[in-house]
Structure 1
Amino acid sequence: MIQAYRAALLHFHSDPDVDGENAYTFLEDGLLVIENGLVKALGDASTLLAASPDLPVIDYSGHLIIPGLIDTHIHFPQVEVIASHGEQLLDWLNNYTFPTERKFADPGYAAEMATFFLDELFRNGTTTALVFGTVHAASVEAFFTASHGKNARMICGKVMMDRNAPDFLCDTAESSYQDSKALIEKWHHTGRQLYAVTPRFAITSTPEQLAKAGQLCEEYPDVYLQTHISENKDEVAFVQSLFPESKDYLDVYDQFGLLGPRSVFAHGVHLTPREHARFRETGSSVSFCPTSNLFLGSGLLDIAKLEQEKVTYSVATDVGGGTSFSMLHTLNEAYKVCQLNGHALCPLKSLYLATLGNAKSLQLEDKIGSFNLGNEADFAVLDFNCTPLMRLKQSKSTTLKEKLFSMIILGDDRAIKATYVAGDCVHDRDGDAKNTKNKIQAQGGQ
């Protein structure tokens, strides 16, 4: 199966803050050619079509195609929790999140919500996410089953949580190990699925359970590790009281072998200089969740400081503490957080972070995040005219940076005209892609 897509095209090779215009390729009239779910060619549309005039083409002229957006921290069981009023982190967990996660003991309910969750990701142009399940193995089973059915590149893990939570959500150190091990054996590298060992955070895991998490990471060295760190000042103090011998919050995880290039720590708002150094030394990364940090009043992560300290970081929605599935909306809020920290986030850097930058933080840049030849063909089609205000603003924008900035600040799910996973359309806002493809096939195209 071969299919070409015509539109403006943008993808990144490196960090535009470092390499400027050499960091990206932008084609005003480009052609993206997909074969068997992989990128076969990328270039000027007229040139490629002159060489291969029989290519079947879906025409998105006037739109922008970018690699699929990547979300490095999100909770699929918390869809119902989004927009819950009036609490900071620890009370929010107890009053809203834990009661909602209880429902995922029911495999049928978990399957229903997994499908809804994936559809929301695709509707917002997100094609890969690092996902928390619940303490129930069935929640992860349901998620992977749904994701594998869509052939999506997803990473997920069963929450490990054996204290400081309701009894109905607690496992044990041993059961969490056995459940996680079984899920790894079944799902890690099944199709495009990947597994993340997932202790919720240090507050809800005993030392014995954290040791079991470390054991899983040692036994399966290419799995991911995801958890939370230093989101809220009360949380940091609670962790110190539970682990009085630790140097700091990160040291708790460090003692159990949980740091490394595949370890992603959500939030990191209140890190110390020593923790910055250990992040840098181990290649561990911070996931920046601006909408969540603002909504729960957690604080303002200073990503300029992370860059100064050479700490790898990514950007994420953190639904349901975060307020939107949209990475565009998330980048909007990231810009404002940076402004409050005295740092202007360039729109090119924003889209780099949400695509290639996030792929690099997940060690997946050889598969997703750009249109390099042979990469998996996950991409989103952005509509510059999705609302009257966007149309007006775009008509007044004269440079690529201005157009991208307007898209980031004004864009949301309405800006996503279509989303493709491994070359297949999984979201089609207006039905155009499906109708066009059917027309091409009826006329004898491949």
Structure 2
Amino acid sequence: MTATLYQADYLVTMDSNNTIIKDGAVLVEQGTIKQLGAASELIAQHPNVAIKPYSKRILMPGLINTHCHSGMLRGTAEGLPVWDWLQQFIDPMHKVLNPKEASLSSWLCYAEALLSGTTCIVDMWRFMEGSADAAKQLGIRACLVPYVAEHPDHDYFETLDSNEALINNWHQEANGRIQVWVGLEHLFYAVPPALKRIADMCQDYQVGF
């Protein structure tokens, strides 16, 4: 049985009492946290375990980003009113975006997230087969919500067909790390029958929206 003891100056447990342990440690076996507490106590209980010390560091649970876009226009024109921003920047980008670019953008986004200590992300993006593969390879937990439009004026987004295919191909993959929800860019980007189908898909697949 392979086990590792991760030791740091402080361990932030995030328990109900917000306990912080000075010179704390976490025992991990085969990718699962088995025990945490004072480093001296865990070392005494597991004298033969491999120890990875992290001086001047904090051990804490991973952060969760509940609203993210792998999008390639981060930092552009955020001062505009939202409709102007969508019409002048975002929608034109979606009209020319291709699967390879979308995948690379997700790889960058998820790698940056992990470097910042974020281990779970909710991402709304395009061509999310590439996003799912990036999440699988990088090890992040990801809830994928495709930009869907079912309206003749916005036919350059994902469709409910592609969203359903993503659910069938990737939902609960990577030992459950990857979740796929039903997405919609905006309510006014869908005709009424599409809204009914969205409700049916959420119920049929037991996924979020």
- Indicate whether the TM-score tops 0.5: yes
On the 8 A contact 1:5/1:57 being kept in 2, the answer is yes
Give the C-alpha shift of residue 166 in structure 1: 4.5
- Superposed, 1:113-152 pairs within 5 Å as 113-134=105-126, 139-152=127-140
Matched, 1:36 2:30: yes
Matched, 1:91 2:75: no
Query: Which residue pairs with 1:82 in the alignment?
Result: 75
| Structure 1 residues 205 and 179: CA distance shift in structure 2, 3 A | same
Matched, 1:68 2:72: no
Deviation string 1:251-305 (CA, Å, 9 cap, x unpaired) is xxxxxxxxxxxxxxxxxxxxxxxxxxxxxxxxxxxxxxxxxxxxxxxxxxxxxxx
Report SS of the residue matched to 1:210.
Answer: helix
On the 8 A contact 1:103/1:109 being kept in 2, the answer is no
Deviation string 1:54-109 (CA, Å, 9 cap, x unpaired) is 22111113221111100111111x232323254111111111111222343x2222
Higher relative contact order (CA 8 A, sep 6+): 1
AA in 2 matched with 1:160: V
- Superposed, 1:40-439 pairs within 5 Å as 40-76=34-70, 78-84=71-77, 86-104=79-97, 106-134=98-126, 139-163=127-151, 166-167=154-155, 169-170=156-157, 176-191=159-174, 192-221=177-206, 223-225=207-209
Alpha-carbon distance in 2 for matches of 1:55, 1:39: 14
Specify every segment of 5 or more residues in structure 2 that has no aligned partner in the other structure, as ranges: none
Structure 2 residue aligned with 1:12, among 11, 14, 18? 14
Alpha-carbon distance in 1 for matches of 2:66, 2:72: 16
Alpha-carbon distance in 1 for matches of 2:14, 2:35: 15
Alpha-carbon distance in 1 for matches of 2:145, 2:194: 15
On the 8 A contact 1:177/1:216 being kept in 2, the answer is no
Give the C-alpha shift of residue 165 in structure 1: 5.3
Report SS of the residue matched to 1:160.
Answer: coil
TM-score in terms of structure 2 length: 0.90
AA in 1 matched with 2:149: M
Alpha-carbon distance in 2 for matches of 1:92, 1:32: 45
Task: Among all aligned residue pairs of Structure 1 and Structure 2, give the percentage whose two residues are the same amino acid.
Answer: 26
| Higher strand proportion (structure 1 or 2) | 2
Give the C-alpha shift of residue 123 in structure 1: 1.9
Report SS of the residue matched to 1:197.
Answer: coil
Query: Which residue pairs with 1:307 in the alignment?
Result: none
On the 8 A contact 2:65/2:118 being kept in 1, the answer is yes
Report SS of the residue matched to 1:9.
Answer: strand
TM-score in terms of structure 1 length: 0.44
AA in 1 matched with 2:150: D
How much is the aligned-residue C-alpha RMSD, in angstroms?
A: 1.8
Specify every segment of 5 or more residues in structure 1 that has no aligned partner in the other structure, as ranges: 15-21, 226-446
Count residues in correspondence: 205
Report SS of the residue matched to 1:41.
Answer: strand
| Structure 1 residues 45 and 140: CA distance shift in structure 2, 3 A | same
